[in-house]
A and B are shown apart, each in its own frame.
Chain A
Amino acid sequence: MSHLLGLIGSPALPLGTAGRYVAAAYIVAFVIVAAYVAIMALRLRRIEHALGELAADAHARHDGEDSISALTGERLEG
């Protein structure tokens, strides 16, 4: 602990060395947030895809019911 307390009073790191640490910290934070946003975008795309499938299914069923009612209507008339 004492050698760490001694380090606090030591002179600043040169820009070349400190710059690498600063760049690493900012890049890591940016990459983590970007990865999170990418995962969320992927999930949203899956939800949209599933919603599209549901909508297509609902349309197909709706068309099927229309044709059934048309057929039964014809039979009743006949």
Chain B
Amino acid sequence: MDSTQKPPARLLRTAWLPVTTALMIAAALALTFFYAPLEAQEGFLQKIFYLHVPLAIVTLCGFVYGGLLAIAHLRTREVRYDVRSYVAIHMSLIFGVCVLITGSIWAKGSWGHWWVWNEPTLDSFLIIMLLYCTYQPLRFAIEDRERQARYASVFAITAGAFVPMAMIVVRLAPQYVHPRVLSSANNLPAPMGATFVVALLAFSLLYATLWRLEVRVKLARFRLRALQRLALERAQAPLRAPLASPGAPLLVPSTASADRSSGRRRQLAERGEVIVP
């Protein structure tokens, strides 16, 4: 972040996205409950549509976005793309859990069952979710940071390519109970279509806001760890130099600082980094 920016400009730069997201979500909720007409067959239960479907679309797009960022990481080897890809997939997993739960609630109300196992749309989404559930264990099973990022990127690209393929195959499936509302523009009347578009925009913005927040938290943690390492190295440097070269001139400036040095040396010895004579 540019520290030379004036505070109002900085606030505007960082706050516009969360504020727009909050406004859009409020608009989407208002349109859902006060503007969109009741659906003839499902009635009020169909209001879940404006939550469940946009969340599902954003989730799947997020997985693909994670794959695209992984391509950028493999091409450039820049850590920031790896972090962004990881966060995109993490956010999609959280949204995906929401999709599964809201979908199950809708299915229970509409079909009388929490889950229908021979429905291709439900099963394919579950398979995609289970596939991505292996992403984090795979990633954190590798200790070497560079190798971890590389393998995670390969996974993200492969799985990201699987997502659209799975959806295309599902649409070709002949038998289903899951409705195909978005297969034709005529399926949704104009007020329902407008509400759906606003809800889709609202949840896309929510995804973007949370994604940016987590990326910033992750990058801040990386910087903090780097600072902590640097501070530790600096704390060790004046102690290690005389220990490493006994012939070098040893400056003992005062009793107070000598006490502090011996205290620091004791701390380092406790961590096993120096040997107290």
Binding site for B on A (CB under 8 A): 1, 4-5, 7-15, 17-19, 21-22, 24-26, 28-29, 32-33, 36-37, 40, 43-44, 47, 50-51, 54, 57-58, 61, 64, 67-68, 71-72
Give the residue of A32, A37, A50 whose beta carbon is less than 8 angstroms from that of B97: A32
Whether A26 and B51, one on each chain, are in contact in the complex, defined by CB atoms closer than 8 angstroms, is yes
Is B221 in the interface zone, CB < 8 Å from A? yes
The reply to whether B253 and A68 contact each other, CB–CB distance below 8 Å, is: yes
Count of A-B contacts judged by CB separation below 8 Å: 119
Q: For the complex formed, measure the closest distance between the CB of A62 and the CB atoms of chain B, giving whole angstroms.
A: 11
* A21-B228 contact in complex given A26-B51, A32-B98, C-beta closer than 8 Å: no
Chain A interface mostly? helix
Q: Which residues of B contact A58 (CB under 8 A)?
A: 231
Bound form: Cα–Cα A28–B260 in Å: 54
A37 to chain B, nearest CB (A): 7
Q: From residue A66, how far is it (CB to closest CB) to chain B in Å?
A: 11
Do A4 and B94 touch across chains, with their CB atoms under 8 A apart?
no
Set of chain A residues within 8 Å of B118, measured between Cβ atoms: 1
The main secondary structure of chain B at its interface with chain A is: helix
| A1 and B106 within 8 A (CB) | no
B44's partner among A1, A15, A26, A51 (CB-CB below 8 A) is A15
Jot down 9 A-B pairs with beta carbons below 8 A, ordered by A: A7-B177, A11-B41, A18-B109, A25-B102, A28-B102, A29-B98, A29-B102, A33-B206, A47-B221
Report whether B221 and A21 are in contact in the complex, using a CB–CB cutoff of 8 Å. Answer: no
**CA A37 to CA B39, docked complex, whole Å:** 33
**Known contacts A12-B41, A12-B42, A18-B109; A54/B231 CB under 8 A:** yes
Asked if B161 is at the interface (CB within 8 A of a chain A CB), the reply is no
What residues on B are CB-neighbors of A17 within 8 Å?
Answer: 109
Specify which of B101, B116, B221, B228 is in contact with A43 (CB 8 Å cutoff).
B221
Closest chain-B Cβ to A11's Cβ sits at a distance in Å of 8
Q: Which of A12, A68, A71 has the most CB of B within 10 A?
A: A12
* Closest B residue by C-beta to A68: B253
User: Inside 8 A of B45's CB, which chain A residues have their CB?
Assistant: 12-13, 18, 21-22
B48 touches A28 (CB 8 A): no
Q: Give the CA-CA distance A13 to B113 in the complex, in Å.
A: 15
- Which residues of the other chain, B, contact A72 by a CB distance below 8 angstroms? 251, 253
Does B9 interact with chain A (Cβ within 8 Å)?
no
B47-67 near A? 1/0 per residue, CB < 8 Å = 110011001000000000000
Which of the 9-residue segments B125-133, B149-157, B210-218, B268-276 touches chain A?
Answer: B210-218
B40–A12 CB distance below 8 A: yes
Give the docked Cα–Cα distance between A19 and B175 (Å): 29
Asked if B94 and A47 make an inter-chain contact with CB atoms under 8 angstroms apart, the answer reads no
Q: Is the CB of A28 within 8 A of B105?
A: yes
Of B51, B227, B228, the contact of A29 (CB 8 Å cutoff): B51
